[in-house]
Chain A
Amino acid sequence: MESVLKTAFPFVVITVAVLIAFQMVLMIVAYTVLAERKILGWIQGRIGPNRVGPWGVLQPFADLLKFIFKEDLVPDKSTKFVYFLAPMVALTCALMPMVVYPFGPMITSVDWTFLPFGLGEGIHVLPLTIARIDVGVLFVLGITSVGVYGIALAGWSSNSKYSLMGGLRSSAQMISYELAMGASVIGVVMLSGTLDLNGIIQAQITSPFRWFIIPQFIGFFVFLISAFAETNRVPFDLPEAETELVAGFHTEYSALKFALFFMAEYVNMFTVSVMATVLFLGGWYVPGLSHIFEPGSIPYAVVSHVAFIGKICAFLFFYIWVRGTLPRFRFDQLMNFGWKFLLPVALGNVILTIIVVFFLNR
């Protein structure tokens, strides 16, 4: 019995950790939707949702119930298997990067001895990352690039020309901007010398600049712009341009399947915000906090975690702000901008960083 418990313990811990992180991310995502509607309301001089609960705080749950109880329409001539597969692919690929997010610093002063059967013997740490893998940056970029299939297959399987156009636009756009995004990350990777997300934060703490946004501001802006395109947000939301394509790739989707796409879009927003925070804004690091609290203690971790979430929320607010401010690009403008401006700038930044790093390391 005891040995079985000891074997199963790590799996139980990881399952619980994934569930907690999952819950947290989905709550943030649900309230991002509400915040978007509220802030857009303010920008446009109206109130926004305010009927469900005080200030409309229960609106996300009401929306979810509405999605669940709506009729689930499936187009007659659609390719059924792919039609059902597409929303699942989209949401799965959006949620998977969650396992490598560095939610906070490692807590090194936890006493686990209260656990039964001596399960906590000799362990004094609580890492706030689920899986610390060597290639975290590549993992996140790779999984999010697989997410294109959700949109492309949704467009194809609906057997409708608006959906197909939306799917095609989306795959073309994501391939183009992925390049610029990858190239903008290389600068950070070169400065920190690792692809591990926690390692990049550590490198920022020890670097003289504290945040990589200072030496890598070109990379930061390229990353930010291509992140908008990667998540299909205004001003790059051509896959769902409602004036031309009805609703783009999800025209034929209804009820909970539409909700999956909707959630996937907001989870992707969260993902790129996490990436921008970790790569350029020091992740959970708060300058000067180690003078107030002992690094590795619980208050230090709590404050760092709150700072991390705060930085992400600032990025999410920026997304919403841009949506309320900018008009949509035309498709040829989008492609020209991606290939003829963003990619050369990103590659130039890489070369510049190579030269600087080379002379600094001599």
Chain B
Amino acid sequence: MFAGLAIASAISMVYHKNPLYSAISLVGVFISLSCIYVTLAAPFIAAVQILIYAGAIMVLVVFVIMLLNLDDDKPLNRLRYLYALGGGLGVILLAQTLFIFYAVMKAPNTPADQTMTAGKTLSLGRAMFTEYLLPVEIVGVLLLMAIIGAVILARRLSQPQLELVVEHELELEHKADH
């Protein structure tokens, strides 16, 4: 049910002419995705999905759309090669999905482990700071670099949009910290 909602929102996001409607549809996608996470017993991921994507990043997107007051999207002719690229990527994604379906169908049907705590906050944090410490650190350094780069760009050009990027990066960095 939630997957259907997500797909419906995604289709409406792609096909709406008005960028603000697209943004609202994307929020719908995020909320349905987080519902799916809840049903998969990963409440932390679900909450963070809503908090970061729906609550912070999409608000910034809506903010920029409202600031710039974009007109309805006109069809673009100069990006023809993107159609081929998109089609190719779509085929790859479809193949992946089919492969996952195949793997799931072939896998033995084991009962769910009741003591599993993989989605819980505590185990997630423990895994992030012990087993996967290096990737976490790398992501942190990467985000720091992005912030510094954005600050430098914003200082040189002093454009309001770039300040928004900085805010966005700060948000990400802050969320990644805990």
Contact = CB atoms under 8 A, between A and B. Distances in A.
Interface of A: 82, 133-135, 138-139, 141-143, 145-146, 148-149, 152-153, 155-156, 164, 167-168, 171-172, 174-176, 178-179, 182-183, 186, 189, 193-195
A142 B50 contact: yes
A82 B24 contact: yes
The DSSP consensus for interface residues of chain B is helix
Interface in B17-58: 20-21, 24, 27, 31, 43-44, 46-48, 50-51, 54-56
B63 A138 contact: no
A271 B50 CA distance: 18
B62 A171 contact: yes
20 contacts: A82-B21, A135-B43, A135-B121, A138-B51, A141-B55, A142-B54, A142-B55, A145-B51, A145-B56, A146-B31, A148-B55, A148-B59, A153-B24, A156-B62, A171-B59, A178-B55, A179-B171, A182-B175, A183-B174, A186-B178
B43 A175 contact: no
Interface residues of B, number: 30
Given A135-B44, A193-B122, A194-B122, 6 more contacts: A135-B46, A138-B44, A141-B55, A145-B50, A152-B62, A178-B55
A214 to B, nearest CB: 22
A139 B47 contact: yes
Interface in B128-178: 167, 170-171, 174-175, 178
B165 to A, nearest CB: 13
B66 interface: yes
A249 B38 CA distance: 33
Nearest to A138: B47
A168 B51 contact: no
Contacts of B44: 134-135, 138, 195
Given A134-B43, A135-B47, A153-B24, A146 B54 contact: yes
B172 to A, nearest CB: 11
A189 B47 CA distance: 15
B142 to A, nearest CB: 20
B46 to A, nearest CB: 8
A182 B175 CA distance: 9
B84 interface: no
Nearest to B58: A149
A172 B55 CA distance: 12
Contacts of B174: 179, 182-183
Nearest to B57: A175
A70 B120 CA distance: 49
Contacts of A141: 51, 55
A179 to B, nearest CB: 6
A189 B122 CA distance: 12
A186 B175 CA distance: 11
B121 to A, nearest CB: 5
Nearest to A176: B167
A245 to B, nearest CB: 15
Of B31, B48, B60, B66, the most chain A CB neighbours within 10 A belong to: B66
A152 B59 contact: yes
B67 interface: yes
B66 A168 contact: yes
A182 B171 CA distance: 10
A167 B55 contact: no
Contacts of B62: 149, 152-153, 156, 171
A168 B62 CA distance: 9
Given A82-B24, A179-B171, A195-B121, A145 B59 contact: yes
